Each structure stands twice: as structure tokens, then as C-alpha cells.
């Protein structure tokens, strides 16, 4: 039966509407895919899980929010931020993303696996800001929010010690880093046999003035270094101390090398700490002073660790943001600092 003119026009209009709706759907789906892919750093696409990044033409599925952390500080603090973000996101059931600066710095050393949130997208998100202390608190197990950004410089082992092996896997060195570190240590070893490498990190730089003036504390002194080195000399038949520092001149003047078992490894450039860090991690044991750089080198090296303890006065403002028991692992060996130089500073004599 022939269609009437009225029915014909209705069919034409219906076909036109279906065509427009299909076009709108495809365009919208394409925009969603495009926007989602901007969230992920293009260099990191191979590391993104399928449940967080669905490739076209499959439609994008919703993800469980976006959690990240503001990158602050240098290598040690960035590693701490990464580990804490990973642990808290896993604990609360959300997907962690890191920002480009953190990826840029950490990827110089490590095969970074977490997806990277582009700064363009990060700047457009209305974040729930969450300041963290540098130790784990019970309320951190129940953090709410789909778009959470952590603030602060947390690096305490209390956040992630229960998944320590996972964290160590996250900080897997690039092959070339491992090869360079091992080659350097082999060269330092020379013809010596059965060598026990002791990595030594001496944090100085801005801390030399910052600790006594702002934090009512001290940095490592000669007496501490003598005791720490003597511990390993007494314990191992053939120790070899590999010293890294951002104050190498001080180290050469104050570390006893009368036995010829101390090697001063380079100039300790703060602008490129990767080499020093890799050397420390590939040693058997560690002597550290203060700072997150030495803490992370000790954690990753394993073995025994000696650290400078009680290096601030009881009335130090540093105690408000820092707890020794939350920073240094229980099985590490602490040698108390000499605070006599601070006793002479007016205002500290009776504290």
C-alpha cells in the first residue's frame, strides 16, 4: 500500500532524528575517551591497567575516583609521597595517580608503574585537600572522597610497612642504574676478597645552619661517625665504606681513613642524587645521619642500619612534626647525637 504524503514526511523526520541522535552519541563518546586519555600521561600508557583505561572503540567505564599527592621536596620526600599515596589508596579502595613532576624525577631511577595525571586535568579538578602527618593514624583507614589530594611530606614506614614488598617492587631500578652501580662498586673493590660494603650517607648542606637555628638540633658530628664506623669494623673482617654526601670536604676531614677502607664517592651533587642513591642501595649495610634520602637508601639496601638519634632538643619545634619511632625502623641501631653545642645557645640551657 502506497504511503500517503503525511506518512512519508513522518518517516523522513524519524530517520533524520535517529541519524542526529547517533551522531550526538558517537561525538559524545569520542569526547569522553579523549578527555579520559588526557588524564593518563602518554609515556605511561603501557603501565595502565585495563580497569582504569579502556582503549577505543570500547566505551570508557567509570573509575573509582582519582587520588593523588602534591609532590614536594627532592628524591627522598618524593619517594615517601609515592609510597604513602600507594598505601593509603590501596587501603581505602581508590585508584592512585601521580603528578608529572613526581613521575619526571622518580622515573630517572625507577620503572614507575602508577598512572600519571596530566597537570592540565589536575588543575581543573576540585580536590578534597587532606593534610597528612608523618605517621599513620587510625582515621587514615577511612578517608572519604572521590577526588582526594594529599598534602605534606609523609615518608614514615608506619604507612606502608605491612606491604613493604609491594613498595620495594614499585621502586624497581632501571637496568642501566643497577649495572652502573655494580660496576662502580666492583671498581672500588679492586682485588679485595669477601668485601662487605657499607654505604655511608652524610647529610649536610642547608641542614648545617637550619638544624641549630630553626629546629634546635644538630647534624652528624665526628664522634658519631667514629662510633658508627667502629661498629662495622669490629663486626666484619673486610668492610669497605662508600661515602656519599653533600658536604664531602667535611667528610674527608672528619672520617678516619687511617686503615684505607673508606672510599669517598664523588662530590655529592644535590642536583643529581641518583648515582649516590643507587650506590647506597647496592651496599650491604648502611650508616646514615638524618634526612629522608638516607632513610630510603637504608630501607632499600636492607641489612643493618645505624642512624643518628635524639639529635634535637626536647623543646624543639621539630618534635611537633617528627617522631623518631615513626621514622626509624625498630631494628635499626641509633647512636645519640652530641647536643653540647646547643646547650651553649641562650634559651636552651634549662631545656
* pLDDT tens column, 124-166: 999 999 999 999 999 999 999 999 999 999 999 999 999 999 9
Q: Are residues 281 and 200 in the same domain?
A: yes
Beta carbons within 8 Å of 276's beta carbon, 6+ residues apart: 201, 244, 265, 266, 268
Is residue 112 situated within a structural domain? Answer: yes
Q: Are residues 123 and 248 in the same domain?
A: no
Residue 62, Cβ neighbours under 10 Å: how many?
A: 6
DSSP 216: S
Range of the domain at 70: 66-167
190 and 294 part of one domain? yes
Tell me the CB-side half-sphere exposure of residue 185, using CA atoms within 13 A.
29
The answer to the question of residue 88 being in a domain is yes
With respect to residue 141, please indicate whether it lies within any of the assigned structural domains: yes
Task: Select from 130, 148, 167 the last residue of a domain.
Answer: 167
Of 167, 190, 211, the domain-final residue: 167
Please check whether residue 108 lies inside any domain of the structure.
Answer: yes
Confidence of residue 22 (pLDDT cuts 50, 70, 90): low
| Mean of pLDDT over the chain | 85
Q: Examine the domain organization and report whether 195 and 303 are in the same domain.
A: yes
Q: Rounded to the nearest 5°, which phi and psi values hold at 81?
A: -60, -40
Do 272 and 328 fall into the same domain? yes
**pLDDT tops 80 at residue 96:** yes
Going by C-alpha positions, the residue among 313, 145, 149 that lies closest to residue 217 is 313
Predicted local distance difference test score (pLDDT) of residue 12: 67
Whole-angstrom CA distances from 345 to 213, 215, 281, 336 are 10, 13, 37, 19
Residue 21 lies in a domain: no
- Grid cell, residue 79, equals 619517594
Percent of the chain past pLDDT 90, that is, above it, reads: 73
Confidence of residue 351 (pLDDT cuts 50, 70, 90): very low
| Of 80, 128, 85, the residue nearest 106 (C-alpha) | 80
Q: Is residue 43 part of a domain?
A: no
Q: To which residue does cell 650517607 refer?
A: 201
260's grid cell: 684505607
Let me know if residue 28 belongs to a domain: no
pLDDT in tens, 262-308: 999 965 555 568 899 999 999 999 999 999 999 999 999 999 999 99
Residue 36: pLDDT band with limits 50, 70, 90: very low
Pair 146, 253 in one domain: no
Q: Is the pLDDT of residue 28 over 50?
A: no
pTM: 0.80
Is 311 found in the same domain as 207?
A: yes
Helix, strand and coil in the chain, % to nearest 5: 45, 15, 40
218 and 320 share one domain: yes
Last residue of a domain, one of 116, 136, 167: 167
CATH number at residue 276: 3.40.50.11350
Q: Is the domain of 222 the same as that of 313?
A: yes
Q: Would 350 be classed as within a structural domain?
A: no
Note the pLDDT of residue 53. Answer: 28
Same-domain check for residues 139 and 247:
no
Number of structural domains, the chain? 2
Same domain, 337 and 222: yes
Q: Based on the domain organization, do 162 and 277 belong to the same domain?
A: no
Amino acid at each position: 500500500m502506497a504511503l500517503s504524503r503525511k506518512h512519508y514526511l513522518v518517516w523522513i523526520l524519524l530517520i533524520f532524528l535517529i541519524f542526529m541522535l547517533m551522531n550526538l552519541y558517537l561525538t559524545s563518546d569520542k569526547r569522553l575517551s579523549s578527555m579520559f586519555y588526557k588524564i593518563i600521561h602518554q609515556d605511561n600508557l603501557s603501565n595502565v591497567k585495563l580497569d582504569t583505561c579502556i582503549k577505543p572503540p570500547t566505551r570508557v567505564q567509570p573509575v573509582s575516583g582519582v587520588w593523588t599527592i602534591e609532590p614536594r621536596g627532592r628524591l627522598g620526600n618524593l619517594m615517601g609521597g609515592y609510597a604513602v599515596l600507594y598505601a593509603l589508596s590501596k587501603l581505602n579502595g581508590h585508584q592512585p595517580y601521580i603528578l608529572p613532576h613526581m613521575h619526571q624525577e622518580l622515573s630517572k631511577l625507577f620503572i614507575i608503574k602508577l598512572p600519571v595525571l596530566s597537570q592540565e586535568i589536575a588543575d581543573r579538578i576540585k580536590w578534597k585537600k587532606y593534610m597528612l602527618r608523618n605517621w599513620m593514624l587510625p582515621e587514615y583507614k577511612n578517608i572519604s572522597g572521590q577526588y582526594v589530594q594529599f598534602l605534606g611530606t609523609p615518608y614514615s614506614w608506619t604507612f606502608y610497612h605491612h606491604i613493604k614488598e609491594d613498595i620495594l617492587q614499585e621502586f624497581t631500578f632501571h637496568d642501566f642504574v643497577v649495572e652502573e652501580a655494580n660496576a662502580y662498586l666492583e671498581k672500588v673493590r679492586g682485588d679485595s676478597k669477601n668485601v662487605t660494603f657499607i654505604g655511608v650517607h652524610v647529610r649536610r648542606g642547608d641542614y648545617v645552619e637550619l638544624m641549630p637555628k630553626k629546629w634546635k638540633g644538630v647534624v652528624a658530628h665526628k664522634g658519631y661517625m667514629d662510633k658508627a664506623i667502629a661498629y662495622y669494623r669490629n663486626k666484619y673482617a673486610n668492610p669497605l665504606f662508600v661515602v656519599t654526601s653533600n658536604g664531602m670536604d667535611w667528610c674527608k676531614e672528619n672520617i678516619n681513613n687511617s686503615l684505607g677502607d673508606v672510599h669517598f664517592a664523588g662530590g655529592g651533587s644535590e642536583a643529581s642524587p641518583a648515582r649516590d642513591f643507587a650506590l647506597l642501595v647496592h651496599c650491604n649495610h648502611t650508616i646514615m645521619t638524618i634526612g629522608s634520602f638516607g632513610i630510603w637508601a637504608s630501607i632499600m639496601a636492607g641489612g643493618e642500619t645505624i642512624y643518628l638519634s635524639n639529635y634535637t632538643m626536647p623543646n624543639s619545634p621539630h618534635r611537633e612534626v617528627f617522631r623518631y619511632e615513626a621514622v626509624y625502623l625498630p631494628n635499626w641501631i641509633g647512636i645519640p647525637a652530641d647536643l653540647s653545642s646547643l646547650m651553649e645557645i641562650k634559651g636552651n640551657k634549662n631545656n
